[in-house]
Structure 1
């Protein structure tokens, strides 16, 4: 993969791997094997999903769960919500600290629209769902995906962080939109959007948990290879120039070119001031290589007493 130029979009916003199928399969298999069991993931009722999406816009998912269940117990259908007194709906919203009261008003109005303008049936496309009061592109895609398996890619903060780190997607809304839709397999928006959002929610967090959470994209991830886990919502790391993560990237890039190298030959290729017995010599480089070996990126074959180890990429 040739990384894109971070910080701005060009005609093609990102340079993706030639074969996306293994990437897609790895993520979906990881998600289906184990994921957080939120109750709205066990329904395809568009009303219940809309309520969960609106509630979660400003509230942690753990707190949303109880409020969502209480809300649906009180107003189980769009007909029930449309018939409710708006003051009661707003009072519920305030009482559960669910953010701006306007969202409760919009939800109430959208229920009235479904009943009066759509004969009680939700639109099934992102474009149709955006006709409902207060439903923007993100929420429309989410409801179309999770209720009807008929959405485009959902692009939230988690998805931006994942695609920025994994595939060097530029920090640009159009670039994120393009990358997310390119990655999503046709006809699988329900499982795909759940999967990539879960990846950002539990693994590729602001402080990433690549190994201990078993990230399925380590094989392809640019950040994992270089050690640079900066992201749009993560504070900029210390200067990259001269940093340990810069030399991790140089080691990976050099071994991709040469397949394997004796440690001193590798050292001279990754920094001009390399000296076997110097400050940045064998001891420093072996420490760097041991880190990469623990991360599963490099293999070290121990040499004899007159030669340093041989380093090669793990295949």
Structure 2
């Protein structure tokens, strides 16, 4: 581990962080057909199509493309003009991607005897395949990639672990986080986290983010990020008060409701709209997420952080 990564993760339980993310992803994630295959050609097509194109729009185009050209041999034998026309007809963006994909298929057939190279370094020799795409194909097809670093991943690392906004720092942090031999599931999982739970507008509780317990932004309430220069609106939100509760309980061994309430909002009144019942409801959500423990002492509800 580099010195910078050592400092970044000094107080982080890395095995717990890794297990939490992988379990979350394997339990439930968005269903895209290219996640159900390890065919490198099918994955390459999905990666090229997905560049600056919403994934929901890619599904039909990806299926139609593979129906028409199911192998690299079929694509290499196709007329390039037909491939470019397909790209344009399906509104997939820059047509030169279609040209490069066709040329890459020709390379596979003529230079590699129809067999895909398996490492990121070798895959970069294909036309139009840059570092990110090469690593994605190596990861998802061969489970042989490096840690992916894209905009979503940077946002996650910046928020969760206060990673500096620096490309080298993001690379080092990503590499240290990824468990050995898990590039397929790990890279899918961390990109899924950034796509559904840690987007520009975070949905931490709604998507049951597995890193809430470990996340600096979740505890502080500051969800700015390199691609989110302005603070997302959260003043007065449930997420804000959850963060305040976690901080307050982190400073005290245990607090009863009427001790905790005034520490997290100035308008707390035991029997008011934002009183005990409101606070019990927020605490119940934190307890369901495994962050807080609740117990009854002398007919009082007492909360503490789960150890």
CA deviations 1:184-216 (Å, max 9, x no partner) are 110011111111111222222222222222222
Residue aligning to 2:185: 191
1:313 corresponds in structure 2 to 305
Match of 2:65?
Answer: 71
CA RMSD of aligned residues (A): 3.4
CA contact (8 A) 1:13 1:175 kept: no
Tell whether 2:162 aligns with 1:168: yes
Q: TM-score, normalised by structure 1?
A: 0.79
Unaligned runs of 5+ residues in structure 1 are 1-9, 272-278
Report the Cα offset of residue 89 of structure 1. 1.0
1:112 matched to 2:102: no
Deviations 1:83-105 (A, max 9, x none): 21111111111111101111111
Q: In 1, Cα distance between the equivalents of 2:30 and 2:240? A: 35
Maintained 8 Å contact 2:261/2:279? no
Contact 2:145-2:183 at 8 Å conserved across structures: yes
Q: Which residue of 1 aligns with 2:131?
A: 137
Where in structure 2 are the equivalents of 1:82-93 lying within 5 Å? 82-93=76-87
Other structure's SS at 1:215 match: coil
Task: Pick one of 42, 47, 58 that aligns with 2:52.
Answer: 58
1:78 and 1:238 map into 2 onto residues whose CA distance is 45
- Hey, what does 2:283 align to over in structure 1? 293
Conserved in 1, the CA contact under 8 Å of 2:87 and 2:95?
yes
State the match for 1:229 in structure 2: 223
Partner of 1:7: none
Q: 1:102 aligns with which of 96, 117, 121?
A: 96
Q: What's the offset of the Cα at 1:258?
A: 3.7
Once residues 141 and 132 of structure 2 are traced to their aligned partners in structure 1, the CA distance between those partners, rounded to angstroms, is 14
TM-score normalised by L of structure 2: 0.81
Residues 182 and 39 from structure 1, CA distance in 2 versus in 1: closer, same or farther, beyond 3 angstroms?
Answer: same
**5 Å matches for 1:144-163?**
144-163=138-157
Change (3 A) 1:140 1:263: same
Q: Provide the rounded CA distance (Å) in 1 between the counterparts of 2:257 and 2:244.
A: 13
**Aligned partner of residue 8 in structure 2, secondary structure:** coil
Structure 1 residues 63, 238: closer, same or farther in 2, change over 3 A? closer
The C-alpha deviation readout for 1:152-188, integer Å capped at 9, x for no partner, is 0111222122222221112222222111111111001
Match of 1:217 among 202, 211, 220: 211
Counting matched residue pairs gives 296
Following superposition, the deviation at residue 234 of structure 1 comes to 2.2
Find the aligned partners of 2:29 and 2:267 in 1 and give their Cα distance. Answer: 44
Cα distance in 1 for residues equivalent to 2:186 and 2:121 = 20
Q: Which moved more, 1:244-253 or 1:51-60?
A: 244-253
Cα distance, 1:50–1:293 mapped onto 2, change above 3 Å: same
Q: Does structure 2 retain, via aligned residues, the 8 Å contact 1:13–1:169? A: no
List alignment gaps of at least 5 residues for structure 2: none
